[in-house]
């Protein structure tokens, strides 16, 4: 039914999909806890389709942040996608515009990493089908996990306070990413600024913390070089 390269992409993504399931469940449950309706929660997952940005947006919505702050935060968190796009675009130059649009929508960390590694080998793999297999598998698992989380969330009593799951997930992501000095400095500076700016208007403390973390990490990395 599907080309061999499509199935190869799916197989390559399988190990990463296991970690997406609890992440997606948390996103669905937290969206309801933030006050979104089940339809809004599912729609957010389908439109945004970015785990960290999605959870950040949910957390801000739960704290009554303005729409401008929510959108800007999601954009800042997802700026790395611009670098991914610039890196992988040359491999898709021969695709028609509609396929480029589909591929850009499906772009994630996992899909990019698996595909760019495969493409670099230049072994005759159909780039379009391999990418669609890997990225499409990620999209499917994420959407299904989020929907399941939404349905689970409708049956969880409010007194359980599942909102703690969002910062817990971010803490897990942070610990796994702090692997060198620049990232440690970025985490400490960004977190300190975000906490200090907790009472800033429009919840701008989060954006300020993100920018401060990026700048401090880059400075430490450049000094090290």
Considering the domain architecture, whether residues 57 and 82 belong to the same structural domain is answered as: yes
Domain extent, residue 88, equals 4-163
Same domain, 30 and 134: yes
Nearest Cα neighbor of 109 from 76, 70, 139 is 139
Same domain, 95 and 195: no
Q: How far is CA 34 from CA 7, 8, 28, 216, in A?
A: 37, 38, 10, 32
- C-alpha distances (whole Å) from 40 to each of 9, 24, 36, 57, 155 are 31, 15, 6, 13, 17
List the structure tokens of 26: 């948390």
Verify that 203 and 148 share a domain, yes or no: no
> Which run of H or E residues covers position 157?
none
Rounded alpha-carbon distances, angstroms, from residue 215 to 40, 70, 78, 109, 204:
34, 21, 16, 22, 17
- In the chain, the number of structural domains is 2
* Domain membership flag for residue 132: yes
The span from the CA of 206 to the CA of 188, in Å, is: 13
* 134 and 214 fall within a common domain: no
Q: What is the pTM of this model?
A: 0.71
Please indicate, yes or no, whether residues 141 and 81 belong to a single structural domain of this protein.
yes
How far from each other are the two terminal CA atoms of the chain, in whole angstroms?
Answer: 51
Inter-residue contact 29 to 156 (CB < 8 Å): yes
Helix (H, G, I), strand (E, B) or coil at 110: helix
- Distance between CA atoms of residues 158 and 123, nearest Å: 53
Does residue 189 sit in the same domain as residue 218? yes
Nearest one of 192, 185, 200, 187 to 66, comparing CA atoms: 200
* Two structure tokens written together for 211: 């920018």
pLDDT digits (tens), the chain, 225 positions: 778 889 999 998 888 887 788 888 888 888 888 888 889 989 989 988 887 788 888 888 887 888 888 888 888 778 778 888 888 998 888 888 899 999 999 998 888 888 888 888 766 678 889 999 999 999 999 999 899 988 886 665 555 555 555 555 556 556 656 677 887 888 888 888 888 887 776 667 777 887 888 788 888 888 875
Same domain for 17 and 49, yes or no, is yes
Q: Are residues 47 and 129 in the same domain?
A: yes
CA distance 46 to 42: 6
Domain stops at, among 109, 129, 163 = 163
The answer to the question of residue 173 being in a domain is no
Question: Is 170 within a domain?
Answer: no
Cα separation, 203 vs 39, in Å, equals: 26
Residue 201 covered by a domain: yes
């Amino acid at each position: 039914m599907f080309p061999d390269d499509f199935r190869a992409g799916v197989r390559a993504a399988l190990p990463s999909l296991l970690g997406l399931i609890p992440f997606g469940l948390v996103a669905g449950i937290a969206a309801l806890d933030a006050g979104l309706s089940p339809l809004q929660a599912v729609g957010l997952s389908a439109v945004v389709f970015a785990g960290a940005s999605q959870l950040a947006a949910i957390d801000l919505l739960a704290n009554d942040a303005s729409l401008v702050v929510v959108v800007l935060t999601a954009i800042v968190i997802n700026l790395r996608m611009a670098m991914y796009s610039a890196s992988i675009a040359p491999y898709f130059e021969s695709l028609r515009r509609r396929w480029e649009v589909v591929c850009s929508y499906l772009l994630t960390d996992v899909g990019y990493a698996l595909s760019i590694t495969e493409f670099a080998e230049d072994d005759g793999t159909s780039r379009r089908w391999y990418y669609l297999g890997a990225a499409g598998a990620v999209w499917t698992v994420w959407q299904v996990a989020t929907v399941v989380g939404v349905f689970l969330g409708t049956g969880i009593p409010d007194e359980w306070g599942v909102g703690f799951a969002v910062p817990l997930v971010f803490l897990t992501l942070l610990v796994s990413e702090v692997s060198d000095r620049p990232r440690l400095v970025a985490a400490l500076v960004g977190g300190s600024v975000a906490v200090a700016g907790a009472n800033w208007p429009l919840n701008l403390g989060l954006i300020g913390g993100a920018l401060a973390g990026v700048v401090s990490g880059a400075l430490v990395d450049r000094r090290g070089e």
